[in-house]
Amino acid sequence: MTSPATRMHAVTDETAQIVDLVLDYSRRRMLASDTPLDKPISPFELNRLAGRTIDEHGIGATRAIALFEHVLAPACLTTNHPQYLSFIPTAPTKAATAFDLVVSASAVYGGSWLEGAGAVHAENEVLAWLAREFGLPASAGGVFVQGGTLGNLSALVAAREHARFLLHEAGTDAPGRWKVVCSAEAHSSIASAARVMDVDVLPVAPGADGMLRGDAVRAALDEHGASVFAVVATAGSTNFGIVDDMASIAALKQEFDFWLHVDGAYGLAAMLSPLARDRFAGVESADSLIVDPHKWLFAPFDACALIYRDPEAGRRAHTQHAEYLDTLTETSEWSPSDYAAHLTRRARGLPLWFSLATYGGAAYRDAISSSLQLAQDIAREISSRDHLRLVRDPQLSVVVFERDGWSREDYNVWSSRLLESQRAFVTPSSHAGRPNTRFAIVNPTTTFEQLVGILDTM
Give Dmax (Cα) for the chain: 75
pLDDT digits (tens, 9 = 90+) for 29-44: 999 999 999 999 999 9
Mean pLDDT on 298-323: 92
Nearest to 79 by CA among 433, 457, 440: 440
Question: Whole-angstrom distance between the N-terminal and C-terminal Cα of the chain?
Answer: 65
User: Above pLDDT 90, what percent of the chain?
Assistant: 93
The chain-wide mean pLDDT, for the chain, equals: 95
Q: What does the pLDDT read at residue 331? A: 73
**Cα angle: 11, vertex 12, 14; to 5 degrees:** 120
Partners of 400 in the beta sheet? 438
Is it the case that residue 112 has pLDDT exceeding 60? yes
pLDDT digits (tens, 9 = 90+) for 3-27: 889 999 999 999 999 999 999 999 9
Is it the case that residue 67 has pLDDT exceeding 70? yes
Contacts of 264 (CB under 8 A, 6+ apart): 234, 235, 236, 271, 283, 289, 290, 291
User: Above pLDDT 70, what percent of the chain?
Assistant: 98
Q: State the alpha helices, DSSP H only, in 134-208.
A: 148-170, 188-197
Q: What does the pLDDT read at residue 320? A: 85
Residue 263: is the preceding peptide bond cis (ω within 30°)? Answer: no
Is it the case that residue 323 has pLDDT exceeding 60? no
Going from the C-alpha of 322 to that of each of 61, 245, 341, the distances in angstroms are: 40, 43, 15
What is the pTM assigned to this prediction? 0.95
pLDDT digits (tens, 9 = 90+) for 236-264: 998 999 999 999 999 999 999 999 999 99
Q: What does the pLDDT read at residue 7? A: 93
pLDDT digits (tens, 9 = 90+) for 404-458: 999 999 999 999 999 999 999 999 999 999 999 999 999 999 999 999 999 999 9
Partners of 398 in the beta sheet? 440
Partners of 180 in the beta sheet? 201, 230
Indicate the helix (H) or strand (E) that contains 67. helix 61-67
